Amino acid sequence: MGDFFSFLSSLLKYIFITIIYLFIFSIIRMIYKDIKKQDRPLKSKKNADSSSHLKLITDKKNLYFDVEDEYPLDKDVIIIGRSANCNISIDDLYMSQEHTQLWHEDNEWFISDMGSTNGTYINGIKMEDEPLILDNGDKIKIGHAEFLVVLV
Amino acid sequence: MLSFKRPVNMLVLINILSFGLLFFYREPLDYNVLYVGGAITVLTVLTYSIIYFAHLGDEYLFIIVSMLVTLGVVMLCRLNYMLGIKQVGWYLIAICAFYITFALYRYTKNLEGLKWIYFGAGVALFLITLIFGKSVGGARNWLVIMGRTFQPSELIKIIFVLFLSCYFSGDRNKKIFNINERYIIAAAAYVYIGFLVIQREWGISLLFFITYIILTYIFDFDWLLLLINGLFIMIGGTIGALTLYHIKVRISTWLNPWSDIANKGYQITQSLFAIAAGGFFGRGIGLGSPQLIPEVHSDFIFSAICEEMGIFGGIAIILLYFIFVYRGIKIALLLPDGYDKCVATGITVIFAIQTFIIIGGVIKLIPLTGITLPFVSYGGSSLVTCFMALGILQAISSKKQVNA
């Protein structure tokens, strides 16, 4: 056992401990985010039926990621994307970090694509750069999931 | 791309650093250490990717467990290089067993209808062990199959949980021969514990008893039954502690190991010296002397980790078990009442209690009983059956995601 090994080992023991604790911390952080995600829809579920919302129409069995049946349109600006900071966050690999934006103005709901890689489809047609006005019954396809627009 | 926020990347980093360090441990340099490290890294990353991308349920269970296995293999390679290689071989077999159990549990129907088949299988394994078994270290609990030794009591742990779950998830007010079924189940549990006592497996018989009590408390609460069990174990324990030589030795070395430090107290005192020598950050891998503890590679591996990776390393191991058990209970809580819920709870409880018994034993918190530290200790049958239990838990968690 040489001096080199002793030096290396005494140095690495601090690094090992640090990495192991970072490992534990990262797992706990992931679990925490997981729980938070599960808690959120319970609160917003109550008024989903009576107000404007997005309704999932793709069969959930064909989707490999977690997605809710309904997302309420309860804010003036709603961003849909893969990032956890989005109002509607869906972990679909075909979705960009910030994919699509919906906003409410003069009693109309507008939609615009935020420069996503795979685009946003309204009633089967890929939308251009200009924002569009949404009607009741429009279908929005983002990544794998397709939503029905229900406006009240 | 390579974000260190992902636990699996940190695991790979630990593997590279620790096996790189062990490469310089022995002169002349031995390239086999690097092959061992490479093999375990590839196995872990491959299995984690399959679980993650094929959506086979909870992704945290396996990553926590693979960290424990990695720390165990690093310590075994440092203690006795051949054991480390063998353990990686067992790890490969254990992962195969994990997939097989996963598939069997996931795609087999009517597992809860096999109550007495489970009971029979357990008893048959016990009888085979008693008749054909081989004694190792005072306990007649090893089977020799084709030159390899195998410990059936490890497998019986899983069978025991499956058997109890059949009862807890079924109709509880059924009567057999005009006796309430819960007493028959209690008797059956004591048959298992009795066999273990005959084999002098005190640790595992304690494990079975506590598991039975906890599951009864959770799923079939009954004051009278708990009282009877409590009285039974108190009387049985007292008689055992007063008359049986093996138990008397364990209790006296627990209360005062220093009085007979050269013989009976040698193992536990060496373990305490090792933990004390480690301090907060340990002496560094390869720089301590944990090989002074007898049986350091199986029961006492926790002391070796404490000596070379420090108290912080030991606490990290305990924390890993904590989040593992937390995940298990979380899975069980989200399930609807039924067979799967009982099995998930039972398996989680088995892991938790087993860890408590052996870590408590080596730090002299409770009397020492020979039982392996799940996923960390050297031992083929222990590692394989632990991964089988993990496979069942994984299968249950993947069922939940389909139904949700």
Question: What local confidence, expressed as pLDDT, does residue B386 receive?
Answer: 94
What average pLDDT does this structure show over B128-146? 70
CB contact under 8 A, B10 and A23: yes
Q: Which residue of B has its CA nearest to A69?
A: B404
CB contact under 8 A, A23 and B319: no
Does residue A71 or residue B47 have the better pLDDT?
B47
Q: Please say whether the beta carbons of A14 and B281 come within 8 A.
A: yes
Mutate to test the interface with A, among B312, B322, B325 (most CBs of A within 10 A): B312
Min Cα distance B265 → chain A (Å) is 30
A 9-68 → B contacts, CB under 8 A: 9-10, 12-17, 19-24, 26-28, 30-31, 64
CB contact under 8 A, B24 and A4: yes
Mean pLDDT score of chain A: 81
Query: B287: which chain A residues are within 8 Å (Cβ-Cβ)?
Result: 1, 6, 9-10
CA distance B214 to A52: 48
- How many of the other CB atoms lie within 10 Å of CB of B258? 10
Does residue A2 or residue A148 have the better pLDDT?
A148
Flag whether residue B16 sits within 8 Å of chain A, measured between CB atoms: no
Residue B320 pLDDT exceeds 90: yes
Burial of B80 by CB count in 10 Å (0-12 exposed, 13-18 middle, 19+ buried)?
Answer: middle
What average pLDDT does this structure show over B12-35? 84
Does residue A87 or residue B148 have the better pLDDT?
A87
Q: Does the structure's ipTM exceed the value 0.85? A: no
- Tell me the three state secondary structure of residue B2: coil
CB contact under 8 A, B284 and A6: yes
CA distance B369 to B361: 6
Residue B385 pLDDT exceeds 90: yes
- How many of the other CB atoms lie within 10 Å of CB of A4? 9
Amino acid A41 reads: P
Query: Residue B404: which pLDDT band, with cuts at 50, 70 and 90?
Result: very low
CA-based Rg of chain B, rounded to a whole angstrom? 21
CB contact under 8 A, A23 and B312: no
Question: Which one of A1, A8, A13 has the shortest CB-CB distance to B281?
Answer: A13
* Sheet arrangement for strand B134-136: B134-136, B139-145, B148-150
Min Cα distance B242 → chain A (Å) is 44
Q: Which residue of A has its CA nearest to B74?
A: A16
B 290-349 → A contacts, CB under 8 A: 308-310, 312-313, 316, 319-320, 323, 326-327
pLDDT digits (tens, 9 = 90+) for A28-51: 888 888 777 766 555 444 554 567
What average pLDDT does this structure show over A91-103? 84
Q: DSSP characters for B26-88? A: SSS--THHHHHHHHHHHHHHHHHHHHHHTT-S-SHHHHHHHHHHHHHHHHHHHH-HHHHHHHH
B 218-247 → A contacts, CB under 8 A: none
Residue A93 pLDDT exceeds 70: yes
pLDDT digits (tens, 9 = 90+) for B194-240: 888 888 888 888 899 999 999 999 888 888 888 988 898 889 888 88
Q: Give the CA distances from residue B263 to residues B41, B79, B213, B258, in Å, rounded to whole numbers and listed in that order.
A: 41, 23, 35, 10
CB contact under 8 A, B308 and A13: yes
CB contact under 8 A, B18 and A5: no
